Structure 1
Amino acid sequence: MQQRTLGSSGLTVGAIGLGCMGMSFAYDPATRDDEESIRVINAAIDEGVTLIDTADVYGPFTNEELVGRALRGRRDEVVLASKCGLVVRNGEITPIGRPDHIRAAVEGSLRRLNVDVIDLYQLHRVDPDVPVEDSWGAMGELVADGKVRHLGISEATVDQLAAAHSIHPIAAVQSELSLWSRDELSEVLPWCREHDAAFIAYSPLGRGFLTGALTSVDQLEADDWRRGNPRFQAKSIERNRGIVTAIADVARDRNATPAQVALAWVLALGEDIVPIPGTRRLTRLKENLAAADLHLTAANLEALATLADHVTGDRY
């Protein structure tokens, strides 16, 4: 697989990474199959995927344990990324950025992942009740202590990025980016490029919608997080089908699948961007990874250029 560099960290990763959240959290968690997920992670590594992304809140905690099991004997083959700063309380996900929480969180992550150091440790969300400088100062201490190698941050504003970066370099910013979610292109991605930070694109397949496989909310199990998402309400899905139709048209032109077109579009935005699609199926993994070799023509890109303007429903 083609390689990309995670900003100033110098870490080299495959052009497409693997997001592990859906293996045990949010997306139909009742049907989780840890053994199959472990096979998927190992198959991904065999195919050149090196960025493996998880977080303590996924599960919570069970996803890091799963990744830790999958990486036994293969730790040195991957760039391992995890996150702290979100907790589940009374069924709600809440940001916590206190320094004492961050220090305790990394110890738990190291134990569950069964590693001595995490390559990329990310602040999952900025806590509105804690100055980002305080949270980031604690993150920087983890680097000094040798518990993590590089730092990243997720879903931060440009002002928050600037405040954090003044304390310790940001190696990567992780935020949602896809054909139907392009908010970060206007300010955050330019900031990353100015400050030599990579951009890790989560949900590059629009939480599965952009693949064309999901046509009705009735396809989602009762405990699937997407049932409560504005874009997955019945009326929104109906109106958003035109986006998938346009992607499918391009896919036919390139002899590819809609998922491959969606990923190729993200990759085409720049070599400093690494999408991390998630899957629990080996067949979907192979489909996704083939997008690294898909070239979109200027006409294809033009056909996809304004799809986000026609999205119904907020991201959250």
Structure 2
Amino acid sequence: MPRPFSQATAEQVICVSEASVALGDSADAATISTYTDLPANLTDKALALAEDLGLVAKAADVFRPASPLCKLLRTPQEKERAAVLRVTIESFEPFQIFREELEATADASAAATRTKARLDLDCHREEVKDTLVSLATFSGALTVSHGNSYERDNKSMGNLLAELAAGSGEEAAAIFKVREEIGAEAADWVDHANVIVPLATALRHASGGNAGREAVLHSGNAIDSFLDGYAQECGANLQGATGINAKLDRLQQQGHLPRKLQFIGKYIGHSRNAADHGVDQDVGAAWDISEATGRNVVFVATQFIASVFAKREGRHEV
């Protein structure tokens, strides 16, 4: 019986795998397609390959991380993403055989043909070649040599693990910084996975340069989740209120949020809308998100949470 094999690029696999971490229980194929801005057919192929690689697993139409390495994909640092993928494909049988045959033939098309035959893959050899070359060159497992030939990269696994350890350390440092900005008591009060972690991811994007949009989007996701949790604690009714600004309005109208905090929160909401909503009819174009805005929104978000917690404790701080 033919072995399934799906064609996708390394970048697409990384995008959908990261989305499975970010979206949690909402990570069905349609939402992942929207989140990654990939067409549905490409999303399906990338998810199938990510499953094959052991990065994600599907249960009841929801894709969940199947490897702890998926968390390390949520970074603007491409070398860390590459290290995750490199460690993953080293145990991926189609790649193992492809590299073996590539060393025997020095011809990527011939290696793909042999890989397809040995594993009885259910796709064209060019799809096998394009997919495995994309995974291998992005991750650094193969390097391009003379005349578009490919050579094994001899970078040691120890170096790769050191890069992954550095990525883990940066994530831990970002989480520590977010908790420090919010305050220990407030940080313990909010949901770690849905508030602290996305804010830490936003901080890493903001610190990585040229990632203002990503920093704003992750900060917005964190505040959206925070408002849901706060409303639940207050007994507020957010039914029909979609998005940060609508939730802020509802909380203020029901007496759970002072106007000053409502307006501070709307800076985050409007920034997120500018980053996420494409063409703005008021200006006839999409907004560019600067690095400065990315950095600012992260820290406004942490202070907003700290201020709401202070209000909960009977203090008024901004």
TM-score by length of 2: 0.30
Question: Which structure is higher in strand share?
Answer: 1
Computing the radius of gyration from Cα coordinates, the structure with the larger value is: 2
TM-score scaled to structure 1, two decimals? 0.30
Q: RCO greater where, 1 or 2, for CA within 8 Å and sep 6 or more?
A: 1
